[in-house]
Structure 1
């Protein structure tokens, strides 16, 4: 590999990480989309990882926190992190780092979308439950939010 190629790859990785945290898999995918061979960028990316410039754990914490503030539940956050190549341990740890009250988070999302009243109409209550399920909350969180227990 020429010095120019190494500089180009290093600059591309640096620009990505300067904007926000990226997972290892996400950087690999983006560099591959640019037409760069994985044999060329994997060793350089490993150097970034060893220097703690790129860190999947830090990415997971940042991404989990951002999704939580957008109203996502623990299931959705975990699945999202796995799509970015974060291992299950780091994903679970990032969710725990948020220290969220998931019952209150589900209630807050429900109130924002449907209002504070307790729903007595079965069809409308099911609509609320489906919405919260889509947002990634577990059944106990959903029941708390919809029934107001």
Structure 2
């Protein structure tokens, strides 16, 4: 590989990571979309990873925090991180790092969508529960959010 090719690849990776954190798999995918051969960029990307310029853990933390603030539950966040190629261990550590209160988050999401009142009608409560399940919350978080306490 020529020095010019190396500079182009390095610049492409640097521009990506300067805007926001990216997972390793995401960088690989984007470089392939640009038509860059994986044999050319893989050693350079490994250098970035080894120098801790690219970090799946930092990506997982920032992505998990953003999704948590948008009202997503732990199940949805784990699935999202998985789609970006983040391992289960990194996803768990990222969720621990943001120190979430899933019960209060589920309640906030429920209140924002349905209001603060306690729903007594079974079908309307079921609708609330399904909505929270869709948002990625676990059953204990959902029960807490829709309970009258």
Q: If the TM-score is normalised by the length of the shorter chain, which range does it land in?
A: over 0.9
Q: Which residue of 2 aligns with 1:40?
A: 40
Deviations 1:10-50 (A, max 9, x none): 00100000000000000000001111111111100000011
Indicate whether 1:72 and 2:80 are aligned.
no
Shift, 1:99, TM fit: 1.0
Runs of 4 or more consecutive aligned structure 1 residues displaced over 6 Å after TM superposition? none
Normalising by structure 2, what TM-score? 0.97
Normalising by structure 1, what TM-score? 0.97
Q: Which runs of 5+ in 1 are unaligned?
A: none
Q: Which residue of 2 aligns with 1:8?
A: 8
Q: Which runs of 5+ in 2 are unaligned?
A: none
Alpha-carbon distance in structure 2 between the residues aligned to 1:81 and 1:34: 23
Instruction: Provide the aligned length of Structure 1 versus Structure 2.
Output: 149
Q: Which residue of 1 aligns with 2:142?
A: 142
Indicate whether 1:114 and 2:114 are aligned.
yes
Q: Which residue of 2 aligns with 1:60?
A: 60
- What RMSD, in angstroms, separates the aligned Cα atoms of the two structures? 0.8
Alpha-carbon distance in structure 2 between the residues aligned to 1:50 and 1:96: 24
Shift, 1:148, TM fit: 3.3
Shift, 1:5, TM fit: 1.1
- Structure 2 counterpart SS, 1:53: coil
Shift, 1:61, TM fit: 0.6
Alpha-carbon distance in structure 1 between the residues aligned to 2:46 and 2:24: 9
Q: Which residue of 2 aligns with 1:126?
A: 126
